[in-house]
Amino acid sequence: MTTNPDIPEGFMQDAQGRLIPLRMVKEVDMARHDLVLDIVSKAQALQASMAAFLGDAMADVAAFCQLSAEQYGAKVGGDKGNVTLVTYDGRYKVQRQVSETLVFDERLQAAKALIDECITEWTEGSRDELKTLISDAFQVDREGRINTGRVLGLRRLNISDQRWLQAMQAVSDSLRVAGRKTYLRVYERRDDGKYVPIALDLVAL
């Protein structure tokens, strides 16, 4: 059993922060306490090893991408962008995937105002499907966030009205990257040719 130096000799601290004499702690409670501490200690060591592995693997992938690009006299950004590396026999592959969180700034309000002008003018002639599509695009979720995919989907509509085009430009200009997360995934090919991930998540084991 590990001990906390802030706890006096011969005592244990319970969940409410009270100091309990060891003689008053049941054996089963003591055994459970020690078991959990042992598992947590091993989990923390494993977590540290996995973090070190991830850092080393990401650095190795970035270094290899740079080395490969240098064969053609090119320079790449190292850890930017998605990349897939496959063994010569095709049995294993490693994927580095970069996921970006996109958000809109205040210029989206200008886009919405221009779109509202268009909808007001087109009210009698526009289709209900278009109104619903635009209305849904600017709906916010419970956290007050707008679905970027729906808003960006408006740019695919073939509408030539100048105000609409200005609105779509405002949508594009208002888009910015709020965060970036890089993932590493490792796969093994089964006999049927499908790649399955090598699980690094305890829940997936």
pLDDT of residue 127: 62
Identify the domain boundary among 45, 79, 113: 79
Tokens of 125: 């002639």
Percent of the chain past pLDDT 90, that is, above it, reads 40
Which pTM does this prediction carry?
0.65
Give the C-alpha separation, 57 to 94, whole Å: 10
Tokens of 55: 């850092």
pLDDT at 59 over 80: yes
pLDDT of residue 143: 65
Domain count, the chain: 2
pLDDT of residue 51: 93
pLDDT for 102-134, tens place per residue?
Answer: 888 888 888 888 888 887 777 665 566 677 777
Same domain? 92 vs 64 = no
Same domain? 60 vs 94 = no
Identify the domain boundary among 35, 54, 79: 79
Same domain? 114 vs 188 = yes
Domain that holds residue 163: 81-205
- Are the C-beta atoms of residues 186 and 198 closer than 8 Å to each other? yes
**Closest alpha carbon to 200 in 41, 93, 49, 82:** 49
Of 4-18, 22-36, 63-77, 129-143, which one has max mean pLDDT?
22-36
Q: Point out the least confidently predicted range of 12-26, 73-87, 108-122.
A: 73-87
pLDDT for 140-171, tens place per residue?
Answer: 777 677 888 888 888 888 888 888 889 889 88
Same domain? 115 vs 185 = yes
- Identify the band that residue 1 occupies on the pLDDT scale cut at 50, 70 and 90: very low
Same domain? 68 vs 166 = no
Give the C-alpha separation, 39 to 85, whole Å: 35
Same domain? 72 vs 87 = no
Same domain? 204 vs 134 = yes
